[in-house]
Structure 1
Amino acid sequence: TILKPGRRSKSANVFGILQRLITHLRISWKHTVIIVRGDSHFCSKELMDWCVDQERDKAKVHFITGLTGNSTLNSMVKSLVDTCEKEYSRYGRFVKRYHSFSYKAGSW
């Protein structure tokens, strides 16, 4: 198998695995839209740059990743979180919302 088990460490080569997997899928499904989804442990600069290149080249590879929170990201989604909290308080049901934005961390 070339899929990465969830229990593996972040240091596992997710980028290399995805490249191999997508290359293999393209043999049979040349024009299929592929959506790569991963949690924050999959999110590396190398992987994100590659995914952006795929979108730019119209390779029909898109990505959805989680990001580990920080104060900048938290402030970017504050109004959305506030709205969700109000909706939960009003209706007593769990609320799930999706949001997209551009973000680039500063250098260390």
Structure 2
Amino acid sequence: MNLPIIDFYSAESDRLSTAISIRQACIEYGFFYLVNHGVENDLVRAFDESKRFFSLPLEDKMKLAYKEFRGYTPPDPSLGLQGDSKESYYIGPLSDSTSANLNQWPSQAELEKNCYL
């Protein structure tokens, strides 16, 4: 499958066209490559970390179950094809000390012990 490639740098000149391209890619493929996005490589590392987290056994992920709008939400198998059956992990701003304290983080030891990558 050839996923669409969207050049974010050239998007500055034509935002509407870029938005339409992104929408179309999401509808047709569910994914797309975004190039020239300007995101620092250190931040892109988040994909590797999320892969490590979501590879944990369900039991370990459930230790960080969703509460106070932060944490892990397992997929809902009862939705079947009728809903969004993804699993997810919610965090909030790190700059606000009140919100940051609500974030839940897996321990590095758990991630390393259960890492399947």
Pairwise same-fold verdict (TM > 0.5) = no
| Length-normalised TM-score, structure 1 | 0.26
